[in-house]
């Protein structure tokens, strides 16, 4: 299934907390891991075709304090197209107009070899690297040297067209911008959290570890963490299906949904409220399949609302599950610390 991590801040930061949490996602994505960052205008890409948690190199990066960058991209791989090998491990790297681009993707695309990559050539066997080369070819054809709002909208249209060939989440960067696109059918999820002062203590979701961010961050630092699934107990906001968000210097500079980085929606729609009512009425956790049956909606119709509630921290997937959150057998319950708030919402 693969998972993605992106970091976009206004000042160089250490990725230790986010990367520490993200490494655990390699347990169910064991076929490779990689990280890319920009020490200056050049990029450093480190990757291996092994499980992240078994890598001495990823352990070193997790603890090494001198790795700093405004932008990070990381990926853990579950093979779908291409063998388990270094050449097929994300992120991928290419130069265009004196800038080093890096790219990571999850999902599976079909009939992608029909798309011209121009002078850019894939080294490996993956749909991901081919699409990366195709995107760069199209950027070069458009002759983009300095991105404008019209260019961002053109890119959004291009990514939506690629998405028609299958499932497609991607994160890529030119060292200045972080481009993040979420699949039009919400495949596998994509969400983000905004971090700015005053910083609080946060806890990792996949490890019994918490840290006071005020001791790690300068008050002037601000930015966003982007991930397939929430990494911490903070309030994460989900991408809309088919949405492109572009980050630069710790801000949102473009959103195809016209988001404002300072105004994150916390309202719940009627489907989300119905899911919460059902879970609060049940003495036990409920499966995705059971929720669909009781709410009277199909899996595809319910998927965005389940994902939204997970990102907003109103529900949790049971830790005993052996399947991902979007599986029919995944089970959920309401977040205990939010039950008073939930009861107030469903009574309105």
E strand or H helix at 51: none
CB of 194 closer than 8 Å to CB of 264: yes
Give 122's contacts (C-beta < 8 A, 6+ positions apart). 129, 130, 133
Residues 170-190, buried b or exposed e (16+ Cβ, 10 A)?
A: bbbbbbebbbbbbbbebbbbb
For 59-195, strand residue ranges (E) read 69-76, 92-96, 99-106, 169-173, 177-181, 191-195
Which one of 2, 133, 180, 191 is the catalytic residue? 2
Calpha distance 346→18 (Å, rounded):
33
Active-site residue 180, yes or no? no
DSSP states of 183-244: -TT-TT--EEEEE-SSP-EEEBSSSS-EEEGGGTS-TT--EEEEESS--BSS--EEPPTT-E
Catalytic residues: 2
């Amino acid at each position: 299934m693969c998972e993605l991590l992106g970091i976009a801040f206004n000042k160089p930061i250490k990725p230790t907390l986010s990367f520490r949490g993200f490494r655990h996602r390699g347990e169910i994505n064991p076929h490779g891991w990689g990280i890319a960052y920009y020490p200056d205008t050049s990029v450093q890409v480190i990757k291996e075709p092994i499980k992240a948690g078994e890598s001495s190199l990823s352990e070193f990066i997790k603890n090494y304090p001198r790795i700093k960058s405004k932008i990070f991209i990381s990926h853990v791989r579950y093979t779908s197209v291409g063998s388990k090998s270094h050449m097929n491990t994300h992120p991928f790297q290419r130069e265009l107009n004196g800038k080093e681009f890096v790219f990571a993707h999850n999902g599976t695309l079909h009939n992608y070899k029909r798309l011209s990559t121009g002078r850019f050539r894939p080294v490996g066997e993956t749909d991901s690297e081919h699409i990366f080369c195709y995107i760069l070819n199209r950027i070069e054809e458009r002759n983009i040297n300095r991105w404008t709002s019209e260019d961002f909208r053109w890119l959004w249209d291009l990514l939506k067209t690629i998405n028609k060939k299958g499932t497609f989440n991607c994160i890529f960067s030119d060292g200045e911008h972080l481009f993040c696109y979420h699949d039009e059918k919400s495949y596998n999820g994509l969400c983000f959290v905004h971090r700015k002062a005053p910083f609080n203590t946060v806890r990792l979701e996949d490890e019994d570890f918490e840290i006071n961010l005020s001791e790690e961050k300068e008050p002037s630092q601000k930015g966003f963490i982007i991930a397939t699934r929430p990494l911490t107990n903070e309030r994460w906001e989900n991408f809309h299906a088919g949405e492109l968000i572009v980050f630069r210097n710790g801000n949102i500079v473009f959103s195809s949904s016209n988001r404002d980085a300072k105004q994150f929606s916390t309202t719940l729609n009627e489907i989300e409220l119905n899911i919460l009512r059902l879970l609060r009425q049940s003495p036990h956790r409920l499966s995705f399949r059971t929720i669909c049956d009781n709410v009277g909606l199909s899996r595809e119709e319910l998927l965005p609302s389940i994902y939204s509630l997970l990102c907003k921290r109103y529900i949790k997937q049971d830790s005993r599950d052996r399947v991902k959150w979007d599986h029919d057998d995944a089970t959920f319950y309401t977040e205990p610390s939010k039950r008073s708030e939930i009861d107030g919402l469903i009574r309105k």
